[in-house]
Amino acid sequence: MATMRVMSSINQTGTAIRLPNFCNLGVMLRVLLIAIVFCFGAAVIRSRFPADVIEQFLLLSALAQPVLILSLLVLCASRRLLHSLSYPASILALLVIEIALAWAADQALQRLIPDLVAPAFYQIAFFVLFVTGIVVFYFDLRSRALSPAVAEARIQALQARIRPHFLYNSINAVLSLIRSDPRRAERALEDLADLFRVLMADNRTLTPISTEVELTRQYLAIEELRLGDRLKVSWHLDSMPGDALVPPLLLQPLVENAVYHGVEPGLVPGEIVIDITRSGTQMVIRMRNPVSAEGSRHIGNKMAIGNIRERLQLHFDAEAGMDARIADGQYQVTITLPYITAPT
């Protein structure tokens, strides 16, 4: 079933610093890792002898792991409610939830294993509050480091990759058509205006993949004025979910690199193949283009690839991935990201 979520900003939780998205796989893994580290530290402190560390660690883990898993499920289910609260109120609600779950887990464990020598509840409560505070503090620092202002600056750097000479060449191509084919020149100017209107807009929110495809088609239409039959594009969109939300300017920079580094330097026509499909709860974008004989120009791909990879991490954390490689004489890019749609 499709995941029905809306990422309203670059950090998935709003423009202000808020609690993390506990439904995100990367957030879950980080919380579990932090808790395991603290369980091990507490086991070392509680142990009188080195040989007792493993026993204490297993005991603390037996108490902590069920609470962790249950709390992540509860926090994921109540994510919308927590994000609707102010930051202090959401933290207070988080602490209350964690204490309640820890008490319930402690009572259940004592009934299941009557002879279990467990720490007193005030010790468990202190440990839970301490670990929860560290987790919140960590994600608060991470959210500030990856704040919308920083992310927006990175996005603006990507927007600036529309090269000045591309604008210059596009205008020259349009000028050459004004007398011979004025209607085509008019359409090209409209495409150019639409392209730069999008590039200058506020692009912090996610956008439908259908919008990205249309923007890329407009960009390619302008490039075809320069390259003519040398540029061939093959779209495979039969299985594309048009309502899927993706980071803005995801396709166009990849296609621009494919044109500039793969097709334009070649002496023969080059084909760019774009395949967008849905696989369960994920969407996969695959693109391939010829490898330029001039290897130095190919190095320029790394800037856009790195920038897009960072933006995927900002939006989706560990749930998205990107792979770029040269195989079979072609440059291949594969992007995997969760299938997210706007609420109906």
Q: Residues 178-200: pLDDT tens digits?
A: 888 888 888 888 888 877 777 67
* Residue the block writes with tokens 């369960």: 280
Pair (302, 276) in one structural domain: yes
Distance in angstroms (rounded) separating the CA atoms of residues 326 and 102: 51
Top mean pLDDT of 25-34, 38-47, 73-82, 211-220 is at 211-220
Domain housing 273 = 161-338
Pair (182, 306) in one structural domain: yes
Rounded to whole angstroms, what are the CA distances from 274 to 192, 198, 216, 285, 287? Answer: 22, 21, 11, 7, 5
Any idea which of 94-98, 177-181, 338-342 has the lowest mean pLDDT?
177-181
Is residue 20, in this structure, part of any structural domain at all?
A: no
Distance in angstroms (rounded) separating the CA atoms of residues 81 and 47: 41
Pair (86, 197) in one structural domain: no
**121, 146, 171 — which closes off a domain?**
146
Residue that wins the pLDDT comparison between 16 and 224 = 224
Residue that wins the pLDDT comparison between 221 and 6 = 221
Is residue 119, in this structure, part of any structural domain at all?
A: yes
Element (H, E) at 234: strand 231-236
pLDDT given at position 329: 84
Residue that wins the pLDDT comparison between 4 and 187 = 187
Pair (127, 172) in one structural domain: no
| 24 neighbors 12 (Cβ within 8 angstroms) | yes
Distance in angstroms (rounded) separating the CA atoms of residues 41 and 43: 5
Is residue 44, in this structure, part of any structural domain at all?
A: yes
Q: Per the structure, how many domains does the chain have?
A: 2
pLDDT given at position 3: 36
Is residue 294, in this structure, part of any structural domain at all?
A: yes
In sequence order, what are the residues at sequence separation of 6 or more whose Cβ sits closer than 8 angstroms to the Cβ of residue 60? 39, 42, 43, 46
Residue that wins the pLDDT comparison between 196 and 264 = 264
Pair (165, 88) in one structural domain: no
Give residue-wise pLDDT tens across range 6-57. 333 334 433 445 678 788 888 888 888 888 888 888 888 888 888 788 888 8
Whether pLDDT at 122 is above 60: yes
